[in-house]
Amino acid sequence: MTQAQRAFIFDMDGTIVDNMAFHTKSWLAFFERRGHTVDADEFFRATAGRQGHEIMAHYLGGHLTKEESALLDFEKESLYRELYAPHRATVKGFDALIAAAKSRRVALAVATAAPNDNIVFTLDGLALRGHFDAVVGAADVARGKPNPDVFLLAAQRCGAAPEHSIVFEDAPLGVEAARRAGMRAVVLTTTLPAEAFAEFDNVICVARDFSELDVEQLFGLGADFAATASTI
């Protein structure tokens, strides 16, 4: 009997790379230029995983045109890349985990709310793109997380069903998006503590980094959730 295609789907920011503090710094600086004071922790919890134009609309108003939003996105993301470039690196254990997954014929995908320039900055800047069977970003879907669109498209492009796909995330909105997609989730505590994810029934494992994870063990966890999700 042929085994169903399995997939690991990775959020990028805060998961493949530990960069969310730099995103937050760039957002705070961006809003400060416009006279807005934003609480860093509250901002992360409310926005991590959302697309840039969604964040702009929420904080600056829905009156922005598509062109105005694009220019503001460019300003903010340019600031982020300037801040993070000297620190760019994968999270501990990532390279070993994806090598182990590939040896077991697990498909690999990136599913991120990041714009294309940031995907290039991270994946190409770290020579990672060639490891992935699919890369899905903000330009590929209409809605950001917690909507499941980006994860469902990534799984589809990998040829894997949701119940055979495991998402790696660092943010509650991303874990919720995985839940809505019918996918199990592994949480990395690069940005928030484990308690921030206590409400999610699709979280099968919480780890500090990828070195604590085992490929086959992960697919054996959360079987009940996967079976239930596949029937919905």
* Residues with catalytic function: 11, 13
CA-based nearest residue to 138, from 13, 7, 2:
13
* DSSP at 100: H
Q: What is the 3-state secondary structure (H, E, C) of 17-77?
A: ECCHHHHHHHHHHHHHCCCCCCCHHHHHHHHCCCCHHHHHHHHHCCCCCHHHHHHHHHHHH
| Residue whose C-alpha is closest to residue 220's, from 13, 6, 54 | 6
Going by C-alpha positions, the residue among 48, 16, 54 that lies closest to residue 172 is: 48
* φ, ψ for residue 17, nearest 5 deg: -125, 145
3-state secondary structure 124-171: HCCCCHHHCCEEECHHHCCCCCCCCHHHHHHHHHHCCCHHHEEEEECC
